[in-house]
Structure 1
């Protein structure tokens, strides 16, 4: 997998966390950089661990599905992309809390970080069937998430939730494009 594809996946995986961070930043009275960085670290670590778990699960099943692994990667990335686009289009169900301090607790951030990283676990399953170093990919996803969440919280107060939804839509489109590129590479390699 090319470094550009890895970076695109990293940023695509962090867009839902970015959307959540923009919402959290908007709900905080005055987000400070140390608070934003702390949230970014929590989200980044969780987002880096989950694709490794998915990759391990995928590697355990890889010998059984080697002939159609590119289709699995395509379907997983495509489905996650469509899911992210749908989430980006539908209106928010939860209103911002009046007390911004509740949004900064470790466990609340960890649960939110895990919830936004489920897609990274599924991507990890798909990556198990590709020629990619999972440690590097996990680090890229974690660093992208760290940057996106920290930035999202700091921008949340100014931008509100509008940009967060657009970021999630863009991340979904990127996942669909990366999945399509993987499928195209395998099919064109098989034909040529």
Structure 2
């Protein structure tokens, strides 16, 4: 898989964390660079770990599903992207908290990185270099979480749904690209 594709996936996966970071920046009293870096480390760390966990799970079943792997990758990415869009349209994003305790950040980080686990399974099917992909995903998530938190007070909550919808659309398009590469363009 190309670096550009992995980077686009990283951007898509980081959109939930970005939206939550904006919400945190808006709602946490005294939010500043320290809080932005702290949430960035949580979100980036989990976005790095979850694809690795998914990859190891995917490798264990790869030999059984190689003939339909492109369909599975497409389905996983389409479902993840569709869920991101559906949740955004229904307003189901993670609400901002009044304080950024370790427990709050842990829950937010896990909630915003579950989709990265499924992407990791797709990566195993597609023979992606997982550590390289994990690092890209983690760094992109850290940077966007930091920026999102710092921009939170200026941008406000209206941006959350739009960002998650864009991320969902990108994931679906990447799933379509994978499917086309393995069927029509093969």
| TM-score tier (shorter) | over 0.9
- C-alpha offsets along residues 108-142 of structure 1, whole Å, 9 cap, x if unaligned? 10111011100000111111110310001111110
Runs of 4+ deviating beyond 2 Å: 91-97
Q: Which residue of 2 aligns with 1:170?
A: 166
Task: Say if 1:32 and 1:11 are closer, same or farther in 2 by CA, change over 3 A.
Answer: same
TM-score (norm 2): 0.95
Q: Shift in Å at residue 95 of structure 1?
A: 6.0
TM-score, normalised to structure 1, is 0.92
Tell me if the contact between 2:19 and 2:159 (Cα under 8 Å) persists in the aligned partners.
yes
Equivalent residues, number: 186
Q: Which runs of 5+ in 2 are unaligned?
A: none
> How far, CA to CA, are the matches of 1:14 and 1:93 in structure 2?
13
1:94 deviates by 7.1
Match of 1:19?
19
Aligned Cα root-mean-square deviation (Å): 1.4
Looking at structure 2, the residues matched to 96 and 77 of structure 1 have their Cα atoms a distance apart, in angstroms, of 26
